[in-house]
Structures are given as C-alpha cells and as structure tokens.
Amino acid sequence: SEHEEARHVPIVATLAVLALYIAMGALLFAQWESWHVLDGAYFCFITFTTIGFGDLVPGKGTVAESKAGKAAMCALFLLFGMIVMAMSFKLMQDEIMSKFRRIARRFGFVKQNMNDPG
C-alpha cells in the first residue's frame, strides 16, 4: 500500500539513529558532569525510556553560574531524546507488525483484506 511504503523505515536505521543520539548524550554528559562515557550512555537510555532510577542526576557538580543554562539545555536534550525513543519504538513496532502480517498471509493464517495495508 502507498501509505505503508511512505512510513517504511528499516529497523537498522532506526536503531542507528537511536544509538547515535545516546552516544551524543554520553559524550555530552561525560564532558559536563565528569562522568564516564558509559555512565552518560546509561543515564541517557534510562531517562529516554522514562525508567529513571535516579542513581545518576546531572547538575550536582555544576558551578552555580552555569547551572541554569546547562539545566535548560539538558532538559531540552532529554525531552528530544524521549521523543526520539518513542518514535523509534513506534517505527520498529510498525516494521515488525508488517513483517508478521506478511508471514501470516503467506501461510494462510490471515486472509488479505482489500483495506488491509501491506
């Protein structure tokens, strides 16, 4: 279907964008907070997925003069990261469901409906 083809995004591309954004955050927090890069990546993943354990908190070791600006930039980065994470999960879900529908039709588990995309 034309509508589904317009939304087709390979899972590998989706994971690559997600990994790149997490890597950017890891480097950013390693620089700003003097964290290890893996701690920065862990913090980004836990925050983007809204798990949020609270074991790492940015801004504790920040100088007071730069605290407000960094807090605002951090909030925007994390907000955009949650958007990227949610969008990535949705794109991967759509791709996997499309593959399952195709397999189900191929084996005759589901009849193809004229209105059914894919």
Instruction: Please write the tens of the pLDDT for every residue from 83-111.
Output: 999 999 999 999 999 999 999 999 988 87
Compute the distance between CA of residue 25 and CA of residue 19 in angstroms, rounded to an integer. 10
Compute the distance between CA of residue 50 and CA of residue 90 in angstroms, rounded to an integer. 15
Compute the distance between CA of residue 56 and CA of residue 28 in angstroms, rounded to an integer. 14
* Sequence-separated (6 or more) residues with CB below 8 Å from residue 71: 58, 59
pLDDT at 92: 95
Domains and CATH numbers, the chain: 2-54+64-106 (1.10.287.70)
pLDDT at 5: 52
pLDDT at 69: 84
The mean pLDDT values, 10 residues at a time, for the chain of 118 residues are 63 96 97 95 96 89 70 94 96 93 89 62
